[in-house]
Structure 1
């Protein structure tokens, strides 16, 4: 019976051209590799190599054996990957999000719908999310726009509106609304890892110096103690409460409002029925 390890040895010999280099790559001795090739020939009942006094090389049958071996190795590797992905879908619900608020929202929904599963979530760039959905790294992804794709379905599930959070003595604290342009050029506190909102702030407020905070508790301490403006949203205020020492002012720009969509592969729709039912 052919052993999988023998096929790996065969391909390594082909790729590295000499037994010594192949053995070094495989972290085995050259005699062990030589015996492995001899045993493979015995099991197959054919000669795979041309042998001279100081050299061993592939014959035509050997080259064909290499092609089959590569195919078997690739198929086996793919089988392992697909089985691991399938097993993970049975026990894990993985969410990839473009922003924090919808990530919190859908993680809570997923926990309620699938109490027996481990809920995993992370915030990534949108191109990473799309690729992750396609290769099934994520069960669902959260995006700030709809999609028309034969393999992907999308469902709108929440909106988020950004606000400026200003100290009461800020020059604009008496305004009923503000634009991003009006606030551009100031120093502002900003949380890290806020997904696509980060790119929006950088694009629409190019002259602003953002003091980015990694730790959320430090971020809230600075909001309470400093006079620096910051951002908040309707979702975060509902979740965590409105800061007592701040004036909350709506941002009028369209960029400050987002509609979030849950994307999923159409082939998984039946498995997601319970989740989608509670989503809309």
Structure 2
């Protein structure tokens, strides 16, 4: 029993005639007839009632078609799953503490290695380093140079945190604010912002957070909300909040330096991408 025979049964049932099925399958009608006869011999029963040139599925044939279609669905799922597994195996895996430096790494990869795919997971710094050290990830993106044996790191990007405010907010005209100034404020905030979320939770006492996990919805709400929001100077966020005051946060913790980390023995595309990122960081 072969997959081709499963497809042939399906085509005959859908199209109603051997000739139409043969045309769709790009084989001759005699070849299709012989294939079906072999299948019937293997199953030990006839699948069609034949009357001259006409054929019609019998009960066994209808059961065979139903089974064939289930097998073909399973085959499709198998192919999709295998293709996805192959793609994951070929992709570069990144464990990152924040989204913006991942986008920076993606831009570097597309510039030099456009055929490569990056798969990422947002984790804390300890987990990111564990993954890269164990080989579970090709890269870690961290907030500090780990200075660990067996690992190498280079500076990837800087990112600075700002607060955005409605024009009538008391702090809207300030040149800068501190985290302490923002105590007890209400913030509209994206959920998946990596280490920045933990930082503001710790740094701003009494704050209330209204979470949004859809970036498009967040962008729309951020234009008109009466609440504070956060923004950084990452390229994708520039000019993202028209009509609002954008005020720098002065605390040292609001100024992040991200590092790209990989194993010292990294080879192939991973090693070449790290070298490219390090070269770009020095430029």
Q: Per the shorter chain, which TM-score range? A: 0.5 to 0.7
| Offset at residue 192 of structure 1 (A) | 0.5
Q: 1:273 to 1:134 in 2, by over 3 A?
A: closer
Task: Give the Cα–Cα distance (whole angstroms) in 2 for the partners of residues 225 and 180 of structure 1.
Answer: 23
Tell me which residue corresponds to 2:196.
197
* Offset, 1:241: 2.4
Q: How many residues align?
A: 193
Aligned partner of 2:29 in structure 1 is none
Contact 1:107 1:121 (8 Å CA) reproduced: no
Per the alignment, residue 264 of structure 2 pairs with 266
2:41 aligned partner? none
Partner of 1:134: 133
Residues 97 and 122 of structure 2 are in contact (CA less than 8 Å); yes or no, is this contact kept in structure 1? yes
What RMSD in Å do the two structures reach over aligned CA positions? Answer: 1.9
Provide the rounded CA distance (Å) in 2 between the counterparts of 1:100 and 1:200. 15
- The one-character-per-residue Cα deviations of 1:41-63 (angstroms, maximum 9, x if unpaired) are xxxxxxxxxxxxxxxxxxxxxxx
**Aligned residue number for residue 245 of structure 1:** 243
Structure 1 residues 88 and 140: CA distance shift in structure 2, 3 A = farther
The aligned counterpart of 2:215 is: 216
2:100 corresponds in structure 1 to 101
Unaligned runs of 5+ in 1: 1-86
Say which SS state the counterpart of residue 259 (structure 1) adopts: strand
Q: Residues 168 and 221 from structure 1, CA distance in 2 versus in 1: closer, same or farther, beyond 3 angstroms? A: same
- The 5-angstrom pairing of residues 128-207 of structure 1 reads 128-207=127-206
Aligned to 1:122: 121
1:218-233 to 2 correspondences below 5 Å:
218-233=217-232
CA distance in 1, matches of 2:89, 2:252: 40
Deviation of residue 112 (structure 1)?
2.8
Contact 1:93 1:117 in 2 (8 A): yes
Q: Output one character per residue of 1:136-183: Cα deviation in whole Å (capped at 9) or x when no partner.
A: 221111000011111111101210011111111111101111001001
Larger mean CA deviation between 119-128 and 221-230 belongs to 119-128
- Using the size of structure 2 for normalisation, the TM-score is 0.64
Give the conservation status (yes or no) of the 8 Å contact 1:164–1:250: yes
SS of residue in 2 equivalent to 1:168: coil
- Answer whether contact 2:262 2:274 (CA < 8 A) is retained: no
Distance 2:151 2:272 in 1: 18
- d(CA) in 1 for partners of 2:151 and 2:88? 17
Give the alignment of 1:81-92 within 5 angstroms: 91-92=90-91
Return closer, same or farther for 1:147/1:127 CA change in 2, 3 Å cut-off. Answer: closer
Alpha-carbon contact 1:111-1:119 (below 8 Å) kept: no
Q: In structure 2, do the counterparts of structure 1 residues 203 and 239 end up closer, same or farther at CA, with 3 Å as the change threshold?
A: closer
Relative to the length of structure 1, the TM-score reads 0.64
Q: How far apart in 1 are the matches of 2:191 and 2:129?
A: 21
* Residue 255 in structure 1 maps to residue 278 in structure 2: no
Give the drift of 1:271: 4.9
> Which deviations, in whole Å up to 9, do the C-alpha atoms of 1:164-213 show, x marking residues without a partner?
11111111101111001001111011110111111101110131001111
- The runs of at least 4 consecutive aligned structure 1 residues that moved more than 6 Å come to 87-90
